[in-house]
Amino acid sequence: MMPFAENALQNEHALVTGSTRGIGRETAVTLARMGADVTVTGRNKEKLEETKQLILDAQPQAHVFVWPADITDASARSELVKAAEGAHGPLSLLVNSAGVLKRKFVDELEETDLQEMMDVNYTSTVLLTQLVYKRMQEQKKGAIVNVSSLSGLRGTPGNSAYSASKFAITGFTQSLALEAIGHGIRVNAVCPGYVQTEMVEQLMQTKAEETGRSLEEQMQVSADSLPSRRMTQPEEVANTIAYLLTDAASNIVGEAVKISGGSVVH
């Protein structure tokens, strides 16, 4: 379902990180269908080209620019922003969707696990946002959505490193939102629970091995644990992100929007 007008984001230029799969890919497609020029980025060029084709299948007239980048690298971040603006002009929308997840209990964690999750999920997000935010300040407008998680609102067993990185993103979102709104720039986050993506399937496989269930059984058990009794679909998260980027959400500032099938209500 496409709940937005095809020109809702006309004359906007969106950069979407983590566009190779899942929420990032679905968001890139949705924004293009709403009329935005879209720059897609991630580490895998082949998967980015697949995303581009999905965009063109959905919106043949779309302007989509592919730029592979490892956003944990400072020079790669700078080159990404420069290339994107060279292709489609100033960036006015940013979706930080790149992320990694490892399920490990505290007594299993190694320093490299902590470093990878913080580097990808938090540090590189902040530093890329800094580059784009400076350009948005020059335009005195913009909107940013960070993909956090329910794990950025509450902890769960086996999730300490990932949860810490997502709590960091939620806090960053709130702080930047208060700094940015005076410049006409809105910043919000989405906090999905279980979403039917490759990343969550990998998590379910790990849980299945811990419990002795099959992957299919574990997926069903996890879905049944939700009040809605189903996992969220990537397009549902993408639609929420898209709404937060539109003028319809012009007074939504610094929020962390839960998309959880009712699993966390407070």
Catalytic site includes residue 243: no
The predicted-structure confidence for 11-24, as pLDDT tens digits, reads as follows 999 999 999 999 99
pLDDT of amino acid 62:
97
Reported as a pLDDT band with limits 50, 70 and 90, residue 220 is confident
- CATH fold of 13-193+233-258 reads Rossmann fold (3.40.50)
Strand order in the sheet with 93-96: 64-66, 37-40, 13-16, 93-96, 142-147, 185-192, 256-259
What torsion do the CA atoms of 214, 238, 13, 174 make, to the nearest 10 degrees?
-100
Q: Which one is catalytic: 122, 162, 194, 243?
A: 162
95 within 8 A of 147, measured Cβ to Cβ? yes
Q: DSSP 3-state assignment of 190?
A: strand
100-104, 163-167, 179-183: the lowest-pLDDT one: 100-104
pLDDT of amino acid 67:
98
Residues 14-39 as b/e (b if ≥16 CB within 10 A, e otherwise) read: bbbbbbbbbbbbbbbbbbbbbbbbbb
Instruction: In the chain, list all ranges with CATH 3.40.50.720.
Output: 13-193+233-258
Whole-model pTM? Answer: 0.91
Report how far apart, in Å, the C-alpha atoms of 219 and of each of 200, 211, 228, 246 are. Answer: 9, 12, 14, 34
